[in-house]
Chain A
Amino acid sequence: MTISIRSVEKQFARYPALRGVSLEVQPGELLALLGPSGSGKTTLLRIIAGLEFPEAGQVAFDDQDVTFASAAARKVGFVFQQYALFRHMTVAKNIAFGLDVRKAKDRPARAEINRRVEELLGLVELGGLGGRYPAQLSGGQRQRVALARALAVSPQVLLLDEPFGALDATVRKSLRKELRRIHNATGVTTIFVTHDQEEALDLADRVAILNQGSIEQVGTPQEVYDQPASAFVCSFVGETNRFDGAVSGGRFVCGSVSLAVDCADGPKTAFVRPHDLVVAPDGFEAQIVRVTAQGPVIQIEAHTASDQPIEISLSRQEAGSIAVGQTLRLAARKIHLFDPVD
């Protein structure tokens, strides 16, 4: 199902949470809403779910206006960060809840509900745990139950609010793979909120990056990483070195840093990814203050001659026998230039 969000605005007590957000989510897509806390990403998700209502703008599912439809009427599955399981019900009862509360004429037969619960328990790999209570499960298992419960009503859209936020790193990684697998198996349009850029880039088909209530860029993980649309996206997604300076005569200059660019003159902010810095005999100077080996890459912290700290990633081959105290000459393979930002 296509989800269209058109110029949605929302305020919380005079503080704008969303300022005119528009977004189109394609059928069967897995989309990430990525942004720092307070960027409005959770508010946007809750508006799509019908748990929050916008002051202006429109939400449409397949061109049907649902802006003010209740959560129940929208047929969405919602997964909360803190699971929000019903503690007094068994896992099976939790999963069956959405079917159990239906009116008698729409409610499947008992045996049909049980079959569906078993099927979903299998899908989230919790087979045999239907009789347990949520208190008897680990965090990762609880989140799987929450996922199965949301999927039980065969939602047209699956919405997840920081689904892995409360879990430890290893569980998070495996659940991430799990979500991808379940998404592929069910084909349901899925939107998830995260502040973890690695999670968003790893899992999503497309990423929408929010900042201060506005969408800065929507694109595939590769697009937002390689062609950031704004200085915010560039610095929020991936590691960067930031230089505030000016371009004149085809060179960007910031203190002792001088880089060749192809851009009109004027004040600019430049971003260079640590792995886009290369050793070059005619480059700017930087003195190494720390070297750490992280698997195949060597991470280098250095100071430029004008005393700005920078980070460099070199392959082991490129790095050679590099040592603290040594001075490197560096050039940039790729520079992202934006109008000055504060």
Chain B
Amino acid sequence: MSSTTHISSGQDRRPRGAPPLFRRRSAIPGFGLSLGLTVSLLSLIVLIPLSAVILKASGQSFSQFLEAGFSPRALGAYRLSFGAAFVAAAVNAVFGVLTAWALVRYEFPGKSIINGLVDLPFALPTAVAGIALAALYAPNGWVGQYLEPMGIEAAYTPLGVVIALTFIGLPFVVRTIEPVLRDLSADVEEAAASLGAGRLSIIGRVILPALGPAWLTGFALSFARGVGEYGSVIFIAGNMPFKSEIAPLLIVIQLEQFNYQAASTIAVVMLSASFAMLLVINAIQAWARKRSA
């Protein structure tokens, strides 16, 4: 034992007692600072406003709550908001994949322009989009004049809402699918081909399933955006109660009538519904990720 070297003859720097629950020594500095800032900011910007809404809505009896939050007019608005957002997200899920596919797989003239156009709904003020769409799809508009003889009314109907939400939601699907599609290495497809799979089998059994989690994320983002969209919709929707009135607009209408409690009640219902859906989608994603990441 005489050859054993003593390295730490000085004071023992190890923390005494049990280590704290989640503060371990780490080589990456700034854990306390960054977590503190994050939590403060998140509280100020997200948590406190949301709890204020819930607080406001809770200052009434349960029957009042039901009356304000689940009136026939409110129910119609929810149905339109969630229904149109769902349809729009579904449309985007199909065309978003096609767009991402074209952008990743092929070289063609004007590719960079199309690539830029995809982001336009992100950047464009929604009111501008709303006015443009309303003008296009109005019965005397460029597109509307051809639709009307066919008996299709686009502007000022739920269909108009779907059109606006599709426009708004497209980049969410394209931009979530694109990197995953790009990362899908060519040799996976070559492996499938060498095992005897045809083009359709490769797309159906190899490529689309691999895109699954990203696809779901894009769909969820597009859907969530659609539920909350206001600016682009109100111009094209026509805003007729029970028919083409979206829930965010109903909140604004209640506010304008100084009916704060009803407004926050509708807000709470939408909040809960959106939260529940995101929870479900996140759970599906976590399950998918565990399988394939």
What is the interface of chain A, defined by CB distance below 8 A to chain B?
49-51, 70-72, 75-78, 80, 82, 84-89, 97-98, 100-102, 133, 135, 146, 149-150, 152-153
Contact = CB atoms under 8 A, between A and B. Distances in A.
Interface of B: 185, 187-188, 190-198, 201, 205-206, 209-210, 212, 291-293
B219 to A, nearest CB: 17
A72 B292 contact: no
B291 A88 contact: yes
Nearest to B202: A101
Contacts, number: 76
A153 B293 CA distance: 27
A-B pairs, 6 with minimum CB distance: A98-B195, A84-B187, A84-B191, A78-B194, A101-B197, A71-B194
B205 A84 contact: no
A153 B209 CA distance: 22
A49 B196 contact: no
A153 B193 CA distance: 12
A80 B195 CA distance: 12
A149 to B, nearest CB: 7
Contact of A87 (B198, B201, B210): B210
Nearest to B210: A88
Contacts of B209: 86, 88-89
A213 to B, nearest CB: 22
Contacts of A84: 185, 187-188, 190-191
B211 to A, nearest CB: 9
A89 B192 CA distance: 13
Contact of A51 (B185, B190, B205, B291): B190
A86 B210 contact: yes
Contacts of A149: 191, 195
B195 A50 contact: no
Contacts of A146: 191
B196 A98 contact: yes
A153 B188 CA distance: 17
24 contacts: A50-B194, A51-B190, A71-B190, A71-B194, A72-B195, A75-B196, A76-B194, A78-B194, A80-B187, A80-B190, A82-B187, A84-B185, A85-B191, A86-B192, A86-B205, A86-B206, A86-B210, A87-B210, A88-B209, A97-B195, A97-B197, A101-B197, A101-B201, A133-B292
